[in-house]
Structure 1
Amino acid sequence: MFERSKPQIVFTLTARCRDCYRCLRACPVKAIRMQNGQAYVDEKRCIACGTCIRECPQQAKTFRNDIDVARRLIDEGHFVAASIAPSFAAVFNKWQRSRLPSALRALGIRYVGQTSHGAYQISLQSRKIAEEEAARPHIATACPALINYIEKYQPQLVDYLLPLVSPMAAHARLLKEKMGADIKVIFIGPCVAKKSELNRPEVSGVVDCVLTFKELNAWLIQKGIDLSMCEESNFDEKPIHEAQLYPLPGGLIKTAGLNDDGLNLKLLRVDSIQGVRELLDGIGEGSEHAIIEPLFCSQGCINGPGVDPGKNLFDRRRDIIEYNEETISASVTPEPEDSALFKAAFNKTDTVGSPTSVTEEEIQKILAHTGKQDPEQQLNCGACGYDSCREKAIAVALGMAEPEMCIPYMRRLAERRTDQIFTTTPNGIIMLDAELNILGMNPAFKKFFACSDVILGRHISYLMDPAPFEKLITGVTQNLDITVLHRPYNLLCRELLYMLQEEKQIVGIFINITSQQEHEKKLKEIRSQTVEQANELLEHQIKMAQNIAQFLGESTARGEELVRKLMSLSEGDENTSR
């Protein structure tokens, strides 16, 4: 058997995830684990239905790409056969269908078969079992997402599953029975859950690779194969009338040749997650249904996550029906095969993280943390993705959700923080209506203007000059940044005033700069005194210099006079001695 790795089938592209919870709301089993604002797919819980892939508006959910696996099978020289799901008629236009076999052969596929051959055999076996065991209901097993769901979340219904493989596995067994066990089979269809089916013991080694139609188109582009350039050719297997309707609700019942006009209570067909869940909740011993044909995707396999959504859903349905009619003349009716070739068994898997493992005390503690201990506060709005506040609390206890996912809780938290800022800011804040009546004030404003809530509803002129506010109301300006001295309150404020246009309200923010002004005044006085003292010192120094200069001048003059007298006396003495 070809060795292949088994990474997670459905996963999140975290760079694209925008924390919108849409995937969680859509997931039928809540297999989305919220962690740090990212929505991760919990593989143990996931049933690979692909609902989140279709629903994510950011395309943050995707599935494992197995093109490399298919290419490797061909590159290694294996004889590769393709099993094409009958929903191909809904994916490709009429002219493309006739060229599809040639395109597949150009990829290296050597046998192009149709899964409808397996579907036909499974339909016959389903009818046979239902007729032999008419006392109990029988759930068809063509949809792998349904099998995953029942095994993981409704294990009590496992015994009602028809013990048959899917049409994909049935066709692969027919191909290997016909051409040898060594051939490799690639299934190509609309379903992502088929990839999970490879892990089942009855399918492992029978189907070697599963590709969606999206992957097939990508592969053709990679290889540069244009359908319009391919010649028309036939499949290696002829179509089977009615089995081509298998992708539609009721396709199995129709292929089995059972009389079903939609009103037969013994035969029940249901599609969509909601319909399937509601149906399964009512199944048990004594059920009046003989065959139940459930399909997880709304309108059946033609709406699978592996189909490009370019074509209208009901156009796809029309194309399936028309293709079935167009191929009547070329269709064949195979002989029934040995039932042993299609046997399967299913398991009763324990549900991961059952709600029963969470105690009531834990639930109440989490509800209390988000302010929902009172039942009246449990809005059950579903904004977080869970159907009820209690269900979300259980998810938090199981590590699948975060308390911050509750939007009403986060809103209250934000409002509480806003209120805290409003009440604790040192700046005064006032709100006025369009008539300049006071709507609200914070504690700082009340302190500034020595007022209380008693003045709520009064005109702003009760406290101050309304002129700046009137400029906003009349549209003279959109905002003001002014400095105003309120003498009655010995208060100097920088005032930031602006208009809330939608609410027709005015917000005023008052910043007390009185102490700052006084500080600047004192600083100015100090500067003035310093300059004055500096001038006095300078004048004193100048006078001192002048006095010193005068003294030095007088001293010099006296010195000169004394020297002259001494010289005169000296000259007199010399003359006398002569």
Structure 2
Amino acid sequence: MPLVEIIKEKCDLSYSCVRVCPVNAIEVKVNKDYARIIPERCIGCGSCTSVCPQDAIRFLDSKEQTKILLKEKGKKVAVVAPSISGEFHDITDYRKFVQMFKQLGFDHVNEVSFGADIISLKYAELFNNFKGKYYISTACPVIVSYVQKFQPELIDNLVPLVSPMIATAKIVRKLYGNDTKVIYIGPCIENKNEATDYSGEGRIDAVLTFIELRELFNEFNIHESTLEFSEFDAPIGYKGSLFPISNGIIQASNISEDLLTGTVITAEGKSNMINATRQFYEEIKTIKKHFNLYYCEGCLMGPGTSRGGQKFIRRTRVTNYANKRLKNFDLKTWEKEIEKYWDLDYSRTFKSDDQRIETPSEEKIQEVLKAIGKENGNPDLGCNACGYNSCRDFAIAVSKGLAKTEMCLTFTLRNRHEYIKSLRSTNEKLAQTQKALQDSEQVARKEKEAAQEASDIINNMLHKLNAGIVIIDKNLKIIQSNTSFIDILGEEAKAINEVIPQLVGADLKTLVPFNIYNLFNNVFSTNENILNRDIYIDERFLNLSIFVIRKDKIVGAVIRDMYSPEVRKEEVIKRVNDVIDKNLEMVQKIGFLLGEGASETEQMLNSIVELYKTFKKEE
């Protein structure tokens, strides 16, 4: 696990972490619904861990690693940062506090304040032996990380000394042996990264924050009320106890901070740290001071401390504890201890790890600025709601894929206003459409009712017609038929009609003679109508017309029973008139035309004779 990470399942993209990150080490990708910390760019300041409303950011937990170390053979030493007096105000006596460490399994408990004494004296030696070069302090690991990654041109100006944590580790191993397991307890999470840079005498086997230490005490049910007193192991610190306060390391070595004659400027906090390093680089020839820098407000308010702490209350607790310890302090013994450990190697080197973003082309920057509506005005200014110092910096981040345009507050608000306006317009159109639809439905309902009424009328008329009516689909299945058609088909069809009203769906082939069935087939095949075809079937004289209703899909037929009285009289008159009209034309034709006309006349007259014969019998 990296030093700090975002739990993507809990992230709701509030951008709180983006806004507080001093180096823009948090990216928000397009089409991603969570933010991600870029480990390479992170300086371990921990600012993001305390601002997330969803508690979605966590740092590397070292409790399990510590518990494993405490079970191993050999000596285990806790080296405790002096800011612990500002954190554990609920422990009434520091001697009980020492015993609580030993209950966890530590063999020795040493103060980092002695390591701070050594380093502060080394600072004094360096600053007092001025050779024209100004330095930036390296007691704060966040400052070191920031310079290495974002102002590597200042690496040579970093004080070439280890932090009090590493100095104490070297002292402890000198005292107890190189195999000693050293666990550091402090307020800073970047110490976890710092520890990975060291091996040998300066190595730190695990780093616990104060938060993690409290969790271990609770896990093992360790409380001061059940314990006896125990003292910190020697060597005991002197003014190094003031190290948690930003200028404590300076006062511990009596380096002058006099406004007129002093050689050091102390600055703390995110904005001061960034401005200080920038101005150190740009204006050191004017400033001509060493810089003592801390990212947090000293080490009192580190991300590894309990939330809700108050800086000046903690500061008071630290100074009260230091005063209490110094009342009966054995200065001579301390001086001997300083001399004893003075010659250990406390030097260190630094290497560049440049993480600055390469500036994209001006064309790409302007493209992003235009997209977010910031093409006009001064892009070097901004509201900082996105977490970047200016609109231009934000555009660069978007161009590099570290941010997305939705992070711009004004862009998002403008889009929201436009969306609301569009939504309002859409709602109005929807209301109009809805009314039109209702009107259309009302018209359609009336038309449907009218159509239904017309259909009912047509069906009633259809069933009252003397002629048989049938409508057939392309599969020669009956779609609709009337009563006259069923009567023409006979008793068998009437029986089927009792089960299947109007013979709907019945197969025509099973109901009509084969020759009539073939006529229907022929109409479907040719799409040509057959009109007034006379057919004799079982002493019945039928007149059949088949016509296309929908090409290749539906045909209809009208079948008349020529022996039916209603049909017969009408048909006699019609056919006599046809004969008269036909023969008037034939009079004008001579030759074979006469023979043709006579033959046709004979056929028509024969049919008339048949009709009248039937009529006479019935009368």
TM-score, normalised to structure 1, is: 0.74
Shift, 1:532, TM fit: 4.2
1:342 and 2:358 aligned: no
SS of 1:237's equivalent in the other structure is coil
Instruction: Work out whether residues 170 and 201 of structure 2, in 8 Å CA contact, stay in contact via their aligned partners in 1.
Output: no
- Which residue does 2:163 correspond to in 1? 166
- Which residue does 2:524 correspond to in 1? none
- Which residue does 1:223 correspond to in 2? 220
Rate the CA distance shift 1:359–1:91 in 2: closer, same or farther, 3 A.
Answer: same
Shift, 1:400, TM fit: 1.0
- Which residue does 1:8 correspond to in 2? 2
1:354 and 2:357 aligned: yes
Which of 196, 201, 219 is the matching residue for 1:199? 196
Larger helix fraction of residues: 2
Rate the CA distance shift 1:378–1:158 in 2: closer, same or farther, 3 A.
Answer: closer
Which of 301, 304, 311 is the matching residue for 2:302? 304
Structure 2 distance, partners of 1:420, 1:521, is 36
Structure 2 distance, partners of 1:330, 1:202, is 37
Shift, 1:426, TM fit: 8.3
Shift, 1:378, TM fit: 8.7
Deviations, residues 419-453 of structure 1 (Å, cap 9, x unaligned): 45555678366xxxxxxxxxxxxxxx6xxxxxxxx
Rate the CA distance shift 1:320–1:203 in 2: closer, same or farther, 3 A.
Answer: farther
- Which residue does 1:210 correspond to in 2? 207
- Which residue does 2:53 correspond to in 1? 57
SS of 2:171's equivalent in the other structure is helix
Shift, 1:113, TM fit: 0.3
1:43 and 2:43 aligned: no
Which of 185, 188, 195 is the matching residue for 1:188? 185
- In structure 2, runs of 5+ residues without a counterpart are 467-481, 491-619
Rate the CA distance shift 1:529–1:290 in 2: closer, same or farther, 3 A.
Answer: closer
Shift, 1:19, TM fit: 0.6
Instruction: Work out whether residues 169 and 202 of structure 2, in 8 Å CA contact, stay in contact via their aligned partners in 1.
Output: no
Rate the CA distance shift 1:289–1:229 in 2: closer, same or farther, 3 A.
Answer: farther
Deviations, residues 17-42 of structure 1 (Å, cap 9, x unaligned): 11111111111111111121312110
Deviations, residues 53-84 of structure 1 (Å, cap 9, x unaligned): 12222222221001111111121223111100
Which of 12, 21, 24 is the matching residue for 1:27? 21
Within 5 Å, which residues of 2 pair with 1:107-506? 107-133=104-130, 135-201=132-198, 206-237=203-234, 239-260=236-257, 265-284=262-281, 285-286=284-285, 288-298=287-297, 300-332=298-330, 333-334=334-335, 335-336=338-339, 337-349=341-353, 351-356=354-359, 358-375=360-377, 380-420=382-422, 427=429
Q: For 2:94, give the aligned amino acid.
A: R
Rate the CA distance shift 1:311–1:418 in 2: closer, same or farther, 3 A.
Answer: closer
Deviations, residues 1-26 of structure 1 (Å, cap 9, x unaligned): xxxxxx31111122221111111111
SS of 1:341's equivalent in the other structure is coil
Aligned-pair Cα RMSD in Å:
3.1
1:74 and 2:74 aligned: no
Q: For 1:352, give the aligned amino acid.
A: Q
Shift, 1:526, TM fit: 1.8
Structure 1 distance, partners of 2:193, 2:379, is 41
- In structure 1, runs of 5+ residues without a counterpart are 1-6, 430-444, 446-492, 495-509, 549-578
SS of 1:74's equivalent in the other structure is helix
Structure 1 distance, partners of 2:305, 2:296, is 12
Shift, 1:287, TM fit: 5.2
Q: For 1:530, give the aligned amino acid.
A: S
Instruction: Work out whether residues 302 and 316 of structure 1, in 8 Å CA contact, stay in contact via their aligned partners in 2.
Output: yes
SS of 2:275's equivalent in the other structure is helix
Instruction: Work out whether residues 181 and 205 of structure 2, in 8 Å CA contact, stay in contact via their aligned partners in 1.
Output: yes
Shift, 1:266, TM fit: 1.8
Q: For 1:317, give the aligned amino acid.
A: R
Which structure has the larger Rg?
A: 2
Q: For 1:346, give the aligned amino acid.
A: F
Q: For 2:409, give the aligned amino acid.
A: I
Rate the CA distance shift 1:196–1:184 in 2: closer, same or farther, 3 A.
Answer: same
Rate the CA distance shift 1:339–1:58 in 2: closer, same or farther, 3 A.
Answer: farther
Instruction: Work out whether residues 84 and 115 of structure 1, in 8 Å CA contact, stay in contact via their aligned partners in 2.
Output: yes
Structure 1 distance, partners of 2:51, 2:428, is 48
Structure 2 distance, partners of 1:543, 1:131, is 125
SS of 1:45's equivalent in the other structure is coil
Rate the CA distance shift 1:243–1:150 in 2: closer, same or farther, 3 A.
Answer: same
1:517 and 2:449 aligned: no
Structure 1 distance, partners of 2:290, 2:379, is 45
Structure 2 distance, partners of 1:376, 1:156, is 29
Instruction: Work out whether residues 198 and 204 of structure 1, in 8 Å CA contact, stay in contact via their aligned partners in 2.
Output: no
Structure 2 distance, partners of 1:209, 1:540, is 105
Instruction: Work out whether residues 245 and 321 of structure 1, in 8 Å CA contact, stay in contact via their aligned partners in 2.
Output: yes
Shift, 1:238, TM fit: 5.9
Q: For 1:315, give the aligned amino acid.
A: I
Farther-moved stretch of structure 1 (528-537 vs 362-371):
528-537
Rate the CA distance shift 1:201–1:378 in 2: closer, same or farther, 3 A.
Answer: closer
Shift, 1:320, TM fit: 0.4
**How many residues are matched?**
464
TM-score, normalised to structure 2, is: 0.69
Structure 2 distance, partners of 1:183, 1:428, is 77
- Which residue does 2:517 correspond to in 1? none
Shift, 1:417, TM fit: 4.4
Rate the CA distance shift 1:518–1:294 in 2: closer, same or farther, 3 A.
Answer: same
Identity over aligned pairs, percent? 29
